[in-house]
Amino acid sequence: MVRFFLIMLVAIQISFGNNNKGNKNMNNIHDLTVLDMNGREVKLSDYKGKVLMIVNVASKCGYTKQYTGLESIYEKYKSKGFEILAFPCNDFGAQEPGTNKEIQEFCTATFSVKFKLFDKIKVLGKNKLPLYERLINNSNTEQGDIKWNFEKFIISKTGEIVARFRSGVEPESKEILIKIESELLK
């Protein structure tokens, strides 16, 4: 009987050990690939050594003005190893109806955006981009679906998801700037 319990204990430890390995992978994005606005694959591992902000964006949203703040922090920190990866999304109130070309033209003409824009994606439902599946289900930040446009995630230089900020938190807010600066120092 004691032998049976010892075997069960070892099996449980092995099982939990494997689950933790899976969770560790769910906290990192460097193994994923996304599409840029021209349909070309981009490996997120290409951003190793950079601090990232990943944000779902829309052109006809009450938060669209946040493009100004995003561009401002991009200009402020890009020379220190900071990048913004923006993913247009039409999941909330059909607020991003345009094509990739129209979105790019709008962002450039209206907000002088120079940071990287990616292919228009889904962040909700069964067709959700695998990157967003990872962002909303990691064990490092608040879990749960994206609630609206302009949710922001901070990614460490090693690809770890380290912070999540809801739409109402402005890109130039103190809490976001402190997180970016602390990650850049690592």
Domain CATH for 12? 3.40.30.10
Total of domains in the chain? 1
SS3 106: helix
pLDDT one-digit tens code per residue, 76-105: 999 999 999 999 999 999 999 999 999 999
**Do 69 and 170 meet the contact criterion of CB atoms below 8 Å apart?**
yes
Confidence category of residue 1, pLDDT binned at 50, 70, 90: low
pLDDT one-digit tens code per residue, 155-167: 999 999 999 999 9
Cβ neighbours of residue 183 closer than 8 Å, sequence gap 6 or more = 51, 154, 156, 157, 162
Q: Is 61 a catalytic residue?
A: yes
Cα torsion 152, 44, 70, 186: sign: positive
Cβ neighbours of residue 5 closer than 8 Å, sequence gap 6 or more = none
Percent of all residues in the chain with a pLDDT value above 70, rounded to a whole number: 87
pLDDT one-digit tens code per residue, 170-185: 999 999 999 999 999 9
The active-site residue, picked from 52, 61, 121, 131, is 61
pLDDT one-digit tens code per residue, 106-137: 999 999 999 999 999 999 999 999 999 999 99
CA atoms of 91 and 56, how far apart (whole Å): 10
Structure tokens at 173: 């807010």
Percent of all residues in the chain with a pLDDT value above 90, rounded to a whole number: 86
Looking at the whole model, is its pTM more than 0.85?
Answer: yes
> What's the confidence (pLDDT) of residue 46?
98
Indicate the DSSP class of residue 170. -
